[in-house]
Each structure stands twice: as C-alpha cells, then as structure tokens.
Chains A and B, each alone.
Chain A
Amino acid sequence: AQSVSQHNHHVILSEAASLELGCNYSYGGTVNLFWYVQYPGQHLQLLLKYFSGDPLVKGIKGFEAEFIKSKFSFNLRKPSVQWSDTAEYFCAVNAHGNNRLAFGKGNQVVVIP
C-alpha cells in the first residue's frame, strides 16, 4: 500500500512570500501524484497532477510541483502567495491503474495580508 508524508503541518507566511510544501511517498511501483487544495468550507479541488512525462508540472493559480523519482518526492511550490491561498493542501498518490488515493495529513497554510 502507498503512504504519503507531509511535513510542517502548519505554515504561516506573509503575502508575496514564496511557498514550498514537501511531499514524500512510499511505493515501489509506478504512481500518479496529486496535490489537492481545500479552501475553508469548500470541497477538495485538484491543484495539479503528475502521471508521466515532464517532471515539472504546472497547475492552477500559479502553483507548480516537481516529481523527483529518486527522492520519492513531489514538492509543491508557488513563488509569491496571496491571502486567497490560505487553505489546507493535501498531497495524494495512487498506483497506476488504481484510482484509490492515499493522502498525506495535509499542510494548513495561512497567508497574512
């Protein structure tokens, strides 16, 4: 079974600061990788996904993530955050051909205006 680790559960930063959230997974086979965002009171929304190809993936709202296979990592980045990026961010993984997701515990990000 896959497992996902996210560090620094609570992150507080000022507007215009850069954000990087770490995600490591454990699974021996080929995986698909996802970052989901959950804004206060809203449902999980897909930020970006990696299936294959270019390991640098660009998503919505200026987010990007890089898949480093040798490190089993899929870190999320945004160069300059806005107050509206305040949300909880979840990294998730599934095995190719199996749409059962394993989630990390999430990162609660608070952006101070």
Chain B
Amino acid sequence: DAGVTQSPTHLIKTRGQQVTLRCSPKSGHDTVSWYQQALGQGPQFIFQYYEEEERQRGNFPDRFSGHQFPNYSSELNVNALLLGDSALYLCASSVARGNTIYFGEGSWLTVV
C-alpha cells in the first residue's frame, strides 16, 4: 500500500473537455506534487503544492492547474484537453523539504 491514494483510476475524455484528478497524500505529508508520465517516458513534473499554494511549476501550459485543500489533499485540473494529454498522472507526497517521496498508483487519462 503506497499510502498515497488517487482517483479515478482510469477515465476517458473527449478533446476539448475538462478533467479533474484527485489525490490524498500519505498520512503526515503536507506537500503534494503532480507528474505526467506519457507512454514510454519517465514522469515529468507538473507542479507542487504546499500550504495550499503552488510552489513550483514545470514546463506545462496554463491549461494545467491545481489546488490544495486544508487537509493537504489536492486536485489536478486540465482544461481544453488535447490528444497529447493522454498519459498516466501521478501524485507524489512528501513532507516539506523532505527527501523521501511516495507515489500513488496514478490516474490513466485517455483523450479521444
């Protein structure tokens, strides 16, 4: 059990639609990061939330946005979906400035 839970596990969306993915961090963790893993690639950092604010952002367009709630859980929102957004979206949790990072099982997004 990874301790980091994500939902939904799989979903299919149509181009142009919007999607929301959810993540609950491991107990005791206050920092949530999101990664995109395209088929055959390593995970790419999207952004990181701590204290309900976006603290770091990778090279992703503004269509990708997020939120962190007071209970440290987080959402990833993607607007105006493109076929290229099809990927496994991973949530990772840690403590602030902590060095050990735990990953959830991911949400598989298919855009058709």
Q: Residues of B contacting A27 with CB < 8 Å?
A: none
> Which A residues are CB-close (under 8 A) to B102?
46
Q: Which residues of A contact B68 (CB under 8 A)?
A: none
Establish whether residues B97 and A42, one from each chain, have CB atoms under 8 Å apart when the complex forms.
no
Stretch at the interface among A62-70, A79-87, A96-104: A96-104
Q: Among A49, A90, A99, point to the contact of B43 (Cβ < 8 A).
A: A90
Interface size in chain A (residues, C-beta < 8 A) = 25
* B interface residue count range (under 10 / 10 to 19 / 20 to 34 / 35 or more): 20 to 34
Interface contact A105-B42, CB-CB below 8 Å: yes
> Measured between alpha carbons, how far is A103 from B35 in the docked complex, in Å?
10
Q: Say yes or no for B106: interface residue by CB 8 A criterion.
A: yes
Quick check: B41 and A99 within 8 Å, CB to CB?
Answer: no
B100 interfacial contact with A, CB 8 Å: yes
Q: Evaluate contact between A103 and B33: CB separation under 8 angstroms.
A: no
Interface residue from A51, A99, A103 paired with B42 (Cβ < 8 Å):
A103
Task: Contact check, A102 vs B45: say whether CB atoms are below 8 A apart.
Answer: yes
Chain B nearest CB from A45 CB (Å) reads 8
CA distance A97 to B105 in the complex (A): 25
Closest to A36 in B: B103
Residue of A nearest to B95 (CB): A99
| Interchain CB contact under 8 A, B42 and A43 | no
Interfacial residues of chain B within 1-16, with CB under 8 A of chain A in the complex: 2
CB pair B98–A99 under 8 Å, yes or no, is yes
CA separation between A46 and B84, bound complex, in Å?
28
Indicate whether B104 reaches chain A with its CB closer than 8 angstroms. Answer: yes
Within 8 A of A (CB), among B25-49: 31, 33, 35, 40-45, 48
Shortest Cβ distance from residue B84 to the other chain A in the assembled complex, whole angstroms: 17
Q: A99 touching B33 by the CB < 8 A rule?
A: yes
- Chain B neighbourhood of A92, CB < 8 A: 42
Please list the residues of chain A having a beta carbon within 8 angstroms of any beta carbon in chain B. 4, 6, 32, 34, 36, 42-46, 49, 51, 90, 92, 94, 97-106
Knowing that A43-B90, A99-B94, A106-B42 touch, tell me 7 more A-B residue pairs with CB under 8 angstroms: A43-B103, A44-B43, A46-B102, A94-B99, A103-B42, A105-B41, A106-B40
